Homo-oligomer: A and B are copies of this chain.
């Protein structure tokens, strides 16, 4: 079973904003279904489409994940016809000390939220933390993208 092992962090906005970034890529994604056990996600990037089925384990850092590339035009149709409350974000990929960090700068109803993820080969793999990384939120459900679709950042009582 393919497993996604991923840790999630908040980002220090001032340091991130001052950081010289690579070009980001616009992502739109939505959920055909999303419950406590599984999600079926459709994603359209600037040039591709994807359908992704994710499960759950006892550890929120580890998820069974099956991802399939599909035509971008069909991803857009699926988003339009089969999903609601789409997530919009710009994803930046930053290489740091041998690992790639994915930084999501959210738009729309999640504007103001920036989250960074690092994918690991093993849950115990060691890695270095860039200076613009803030606290870890891997275990906080509200930062799951499927949660952000239903309960967007703009509605959180901060």
Chain A contact residues, CB within 8 Å of chain B: 1-2, 32-33, 38, 40, 51, 53, 55, 64, 66, 68, 70, 74, 77-78, 81-82
25 A-B pairs with CB atoms under 8 Å apart are A1-B77, A1-B81, A2-B74, A32-B33, A32-B38, A32-B40, A32-B53, A33-B33, A33-B40, A38-B82, A40-B40, A51-B51, A51-B53, A51-B68, A53-B78, A53-B82, A55-B81, A55-B82, A64-B81, A66-B70, A66-B74, A66-B77, A66-B78, A68-B68, A68-B70
Counting every copy of the chain, the complex holds 2
Q: Give the 4 A-B CB pairs with smallest separation, nearest first.
A: A33-B33, A40-B40, A38-B82, A68-B68
A68 proximity list for chain B (CB < 8 A): 51, 68, 70
A51 proximity list for chain B (CB < 8 A): 51, 53, 68
